[in-house]
Amino acid sequence: MAERVSVFRKEHFNAAHRLYNAAWDYAKNEKVFGKCALPNYHGHNYEMEVKITGEPDKDTGYVIDLKSLSELIKREVVQKFDHKNLNLDTEEFKNLNPTAENIVIVIYKVLRPHIDSKFELQVRLYETPRNFVEYPVGK
């Protein structure tokens, strides 16, 4: 059995959002989410690292063609979210709080059907250079 290798592609998008639970009043939202609950939105430069783990193909030496992975991420994720308001402009977050945690799960679910099941997929999402999340949880 060939050795398994993880390959990574970074992509980015920027978006506005706010953190707000519609089942709570404004005071509770402000208490829990602080400035992130402000009504007129704020925004981030999001950086994604998409990790694919598998065996390098014996003919190409590639786990996956990173150019095609880049195109897939751009088509399925960046197109949806770049320069958008996550709360207002996307189907995915109409009824889901757009925390980094929820965004990374959505990105995983969007990408997974497009990636051969023989590969493992993991996504890391940076909301700021110092706040980042990963899904599924690490190996």
Report if residue 78 touches other proteins, rule: CB under 8 A.
Answer: no
Report if residue 68 touches other proteins, rule: CB under 8 A.
Answer: no
Report if residue 44 touches other proteins, rule: CB under 8 A.
Answer: yes
- Answer for the pair 125, 94: CB distance below 8 angstroms, yes or no: no
Q: Of residues 82-121, which lie at the interface with other proteins (CB under 8 A)?
A: 82-85, 88-89
Q: What minimum distance in Å lies between the beta carbon of 93 and other proteins?
A: 12
Q: Is 11 a catalytic residue?
A: no
Report if residue 43 touches other proteins, rule: CB under 8 A.
Answer: yes
Closest-CA residue to 81 (of 91, 70, 90): 90
Report if residue 17 touches other proteins, rule: CB under 8 A.
Answer: yes
Distance CA 12, CA 126 (A): 9
Q: Is 120 a catalytic residue?
A: no
In a 3-state reduction of DSSP, which class is residue 51? strand
Phi/psi for 52 (5° steps) reads -120, 130
Active site members: 36, 83, 127
